[in-house]
Amino acid sequence: MEIKIIKKNKKNFLDLLLLGDEQEDMIDKYLESGKMFALYDDDDLKSICVVTKEGKDVIEIKNLATYEKYQRQGYGSKLIKYIFEYYRDKCKTIFVGTGDGTSNVSFYEHCGFKLSHKVKNFFIENYDHPIFENGVQVADMIYLRKEI
């Protein structure tokens, strides 16, 4: 398994980026300034993650995705663990925002994040189409945080 930092042509990963954040103009807001990590196993891309610096000692995970056929095989957690190590001496707090009530919340809790705060109606006000998970519309963004 290998994790690479991607500096050029980040849009080549658009299929995976859209799995983590389904509107391209929202991705464009953080892709250039963000640091992109890509996890490969057997030379095959499995997962990506984009992280931004949000202030002194604070970073945010803006996008994380594992190809559907490789989900629940530990790749997402391995990438998050790598990011904890990578940033351990560079920052103190990691935030991640995701749809309130989605299964992603369980994933981030599994990775050691704790619930922080909500942004009411974030997905309704910032996306040009309704976002659904398992047939239920997602309205609020829930932030989780972890101290590293």
Ligand X SMILES: CC(C)(COP(=O)(O)OP(=O)(O)OC[C@H]1O[C@@H](n2cnc3c(N)ncnc32)[C@H](O)[C@@H]1OP(=O)(O)O)[C@@H](O)C(=O)NCCC(=O)NCCS
Q: Name the residue whose CB lies closest to ligand X.
A: 76
Closest CA to 49 of 71, 66, 32, 33: 66
Query: Judged by CB under 6 A, does residue 77 bind ligand X?
Result: yes
Alpha-carbon gap, residue 45 to 86, rounded angstroms: 20
Please identify which residue in 6, 58, 74, 119 interacts with ligand X, judged by CB under 6 A. Answer: 74
- For the bound state, the minimum distance from the C-beta of residue 103 to ligand X, rounded and expressed in Å, comes to 3
User: Interface residues for ligand X in 5-44 (CB under 6 A)?
Assistant: 19-20
Rank residues 66 and 87 by Cβ distance to ligand X and give the closer one: 66
- For the bound state, the minimum distance from the C-beta of residue 61 to ligand X, rounded and expressed in Å, comes to 7
Instruction: Determine which helix (DSSP H) or strand (DSSP E) holds 106, and give its type and residue range.
Output: helix 103-110
Residues contacting 37, CB < 8 A, separation 6+: 3, 4, 5, 6, 48, 49, 50, 51, 79, 82, 83, 86
- Residues in contact with ligand X by CB under 6 A are 19-20, 47, 64-66, 71-77, 98, 103-104, 106-107, 110
